[in-house]
Structure 1
């Protein structure tokens, strides 16, 4: 991919901002954030708000968007689900897979995440693989083992061309929505582990792989996090729901 390697600013709105709220958010955000050619800005709205986002970002191709989750199958009797193949019609070009909330609340296993990545790739979307450890796993000294297991399961199921298109998001589960943030040193350590685990997989280019940090990112700490070695951008939850806050984050380093 020819996109700038750093920084990438990604917003995960989770189950917030329906179509009307999306339109109002974008009106304010567009006023606060001017296009910049040295960064990538991606928003992951709820699926119901994808068309509204597409309409609200008209004339601003610098603002990309994607889907928060897709089903592991191409189609079928899966009430309430959407397939990756349905997403491109909305104009979305990115997709999340393996977010800790999907793993915890919906039982997404490593094998299921790998299948979702394949579906996203088959649909021509840019996948973001989320990986990370719980507090219990971290305190037990299992950070490296957890990341290796999650990454190996995903990459082993993909062809070389697919691996080359992946973006990674390290999200310490204990820092998501808790107000606790991994220190820049913590983030650098984990990102180093992720990058090292890519070695040996055909199609992966560890030095150039894009790895985001996610977990209680806010305007007050964005500068420190982006300065941490190996951190190529951020995946933001709560702080991306306010257009002023999100604009401040997306303006970091400009």
Structure 2
């Protein structure tokens, strides 16, 4: 079935406010119709509201993280309700950098995913394997377990409002990219896990993105594969022209 592709830029800890606004002004009027391609920029929390106020009709703004509780004495954290209140649409959860540097676990990813859904945010749930896992040939087992735990106690209707991003850790920021066949094979395995959790129709509707050194020169090959529904993009999303090329490729 046809799934609307998503090109989501993850800016990580880059760009100040002026640079971010300049980027938005450069891309707003040039992006494909959202009915053909959903384009998202996931930016630093400090200027999410500024970006939401200036997003064009075909662009949406996402956060890079959130807490799973509504409120409390959690210095430095941001709640789902806070994000929703300022007009944020998406939130990246469980990125490998959050897992590696900030003790994110499969359990907290699950809690955050449930909270994002409850607040009407679209969670982009990240899963992926280390190089040693790939070399051992256990990628599908490890990534499949991450998916199962992330979707624990989430029903079918809720799952339909989520996006999965498969990002092999060994390909993030390294310049290495999984071959289109490797990426598609793992994404097919992810979809089979979703089918086991729910049913074939539901699994066919959930969009699964690839992430890991995605660039304008490899996006077309990746998107040509049967089960890759777009990309979660790091460095290549920081330059307006590059981001536009990625969106244009998804529109064809």
Smaller-chain TM-score range?
over 0.9
Unmatched segments (≥5 aa) in structure 2: none
1:168 aligns to what SS in structure 2?
Answer: strand
Structure 1: how far apart are the matches of 2:204 and 2:7?
Answer: 19
How far off is 1:32 after superposition? Answer: 4.3
The alignment's TM-score, normalised by the length of structure 2, stands at 0.94
1:152, distance to aligned residue in structure 2 (A): 0.8
Partner of 1:26: 24
TM-score, reference length from structure 1: 0.93
Q: Judge conservation of contact 1:22–1:52 (CA < 8 Å) in 2.
A: no
1:142 aligned onto 2:138:
yes
CA contact (8 A) 1:217 1:237 kept: yes
Q: How does 1:203-218 map to 2 (within 5 A)?
A: 205-218=202-215
Instruction: Look up the match of 1:129.
Output: 125
1:152 to 145, 148, 153: 148
> Aligned to 2:218, which of 221, 224, 230?
221
Larger displacement relative to structure 2 (216-225 or 146-155):
146-155
Match of 1:146, SS state, is helix
Cα root mean square deviation, aligned: 1.6
Residue pairs, 1:1-254, within 5 angstroms: 5-30=3-28, 32-33=30-31, 35=33, 37-57=35-55, 60-202=56-198, 205-252=202-249, 253-254=251-252
1:9-28 CA-to-partner distances (Å, cap 9, x unmatched) read 11111111232211111122
The CA distance in 2 between the partners of 1:198 and 1:7, in whole Å, is: 18
Question: How many Å separate the matches in 1 of 2:224 and 2:4?
Answer: 11
Aligned length: 249
- Flag as ranges the 4+ runs of structure 1 deviating above 3 A: 31-37
CA distance in structure 2 between the aligned counterparts of 1:136 and 1:26, rounded to whole angstroms: 39
